[in-house]
Amino acid sequence: MLDTLISSKTRIKLLLKFFLNSNATAYLRSLESEFGESSNAIRLELNKFENAGMLTSSMQGNKKIFRANVQHPLFNDMHNIILKYVGLDSIIENVVKRLGEVQKVYLTGAFSRGLNSDVIDLIIIGNVDKVYLIRLVEKAEKLIQRKIRYLVYKEDEFQAADLSQYNPKPLLIWNQEMQMTK
């Protein structure tokens, strides 16, 4: 859907990188190796986003580090569009809210790094019916046309888990407070 509205694949990759996880930062050469594209194409798109005020930059040594401008008036709208594009909104609506005793959901894997993928990796914390979870995930996968891979922890198990294997650390995408404020 997004690729029919935005013809630049580089622009879509940058939107995913910076607007899915607002804590993501990157510099030109790191994006070049991550995306496998020429630095010139990436530089042009970064400059457009920065000139529009959607990205901010700072210098660290000789590297210009970019990040999403969360103060931009369109940041929340762009973030929500990216969530819809990835299918996370459907996962929350069709899986998490129907499971009952879910306390938190974290995003890991490629999407937590701002990279597109056919697989969405989640950590679900709570006391859930795993048989029902499997059925809900199968329905959601058909809806979003991506695979969903998940780990389920009880709160105490998650607290004891070694999260050092995740880089970056898991990104919180839903918790009970979020549900109550909506």
Answer yes or no: is pLDDT of 180 > 50: no
2-68 folds as Arc Repressor Mutant, subunit A (1.10.10)
Burial 31-63 (b: 16+ CB within 10 A, else e): bbeebeeeeeebeebbeebeeeebbbbeeeeee
Task: Write down the mean pLDDT value for the chain.
Answer: 86
- Find the helix or strand (DSSP H, E) in which 19 lies: helix 9-19
In whole angstroms, give the CA distance from residue 16 to residue 21. Answer: 8
Name the residue ranges covered by the structural domains of the chain: 2-68, 87-181
- Map tokens 């969530």 to a residue: 83
- pLDDT band at 167, cuts 50/70/90? confident
Q: Which residue has the higher pLDDT, 42 or 163?
A: 42
Nearest to 121 by CA among 136, 133, 110, 135: 110
Nearest to 107 by CA among 41, 44, 3, 23: 23
Answer yes or no: is pLDDT of 181 > 50: no
Report the DSSP pairing between strands 25-27 and 101-108. unpaired
Answer yes or no: is pLDDT of 182 > 50: no
DSSP state of 36: T
87-181 folds as Beta Polymerase; domain 2 (3.30.460)
Contacts of 44 (CB under 8 A, 6+ apart): none
Answer yes or no: is pLDDT of 143 > 60: yes
The whole-number pLDDT of residue 21 equals: 79
